[in-house]
Amino acid sequence: MDKAKPDTLFDFYRSPMGKVVRRLLSRQLQKALPPQPSSIKDDWLTAGVGYARPYMNLISRSPGHQIMLQLSGYHMRSWPKAKPSRLAEVDETSLPLLPATLDHVLMVHGLEATNRPDELLDETWRLLKGGGKFTLVVPYRRGLWASQDHTPFGHGQPFSQRQLRDVLAGHGFSIHRLSSALILPPITSAIYTRLAPVVERLPHAYGGVLVVTAEKQVFSARPILRKSWRLKPRAVPTMAKPTTRQT
């Protein structure tokens, strides 16, 4: 394992391993992102929630508008570069938009790290239009990444496929697509950066993270009762806390 652990997600994605993770996960996200209806491309609004910054380039090249709602505690840097900022630091229990505003939410480093996971999912449901799309990345409980704390996917609450299906259904979402990524375990950076791009192309049963495409379901009444278990609050990982370095 690497001895030097990055202090922030910002640092992780600048490391050799983080750059490979970003590239491999971006490939899987490209398959999961919903197509934009041709009739409303100019009005399509996507929000990156959690710490979606490394993956916003996937959607910022598309027609429509994009914003970032970054959860409190993450390293804050203006986005996009050299343009008026469209990033806001937010409280996961009260996202600062009107109901039914968004067509699509891309959430990365959000659900597993928040202290208020149920409230975050409720807020996501509130902000999406009827039939709005929800793309979500979380650590996979069966994968080896969830047990390695030198990467961001080793912090917070991992999920099994069944847990993720149940919790999304309980918050008014139906899953259309569920896949996995990051097959190779997070071994030393030198080995990972060399082998991971090759291994990722191989057939596999599961990887280190789950990538989900879901859709907001509109019911005549939202269910009040949850399942007998709720998501357990988890502290925001040290890796996700703000850095003191000036940028």
Residue 245: the pLDDT is 40
Cis omega (within 30 of 0) for bond into 34: no
The whole-angstrom separation of Cα 126 and Cα 240 is 26
Residue 105: the pLDDT is 97
Global pTM value: 0.85
Residue 63: the pLDDT is 75
Q: What is the mean pLDDT of each run of 10 residues along the chain (247 residues)?
A: 56 93 93 78 88 90 86 84 88 93 96 92 96 96 89 92 95 94 88 88 82 87 45 47 39
Strand order in the sheet with 87-90: 87-90, 65-71, 45-50, 102-108, 128-139, 209-216, 173-181
Residue 34: the pLDDT is 86
Q: What are the distances in angstroms from CA 179 to CA 12, 27, 171, 183, 206?
A: 23, 12, 20, 11, 8
Residue 38: the pLDDT is 67
Assigned architecture for domain 9-240: 3-Layer(aba) Sandwich (3.40)
Residue 82: the pLDDT is 80
Residue 238: the pLDDT is 47
Residue 247: the pLDDT is 35
DSSP for 167-208, written as a single string:
HHHHTTEEEEEEEEE--S----HHHHHHHHHHHTTS--S--S
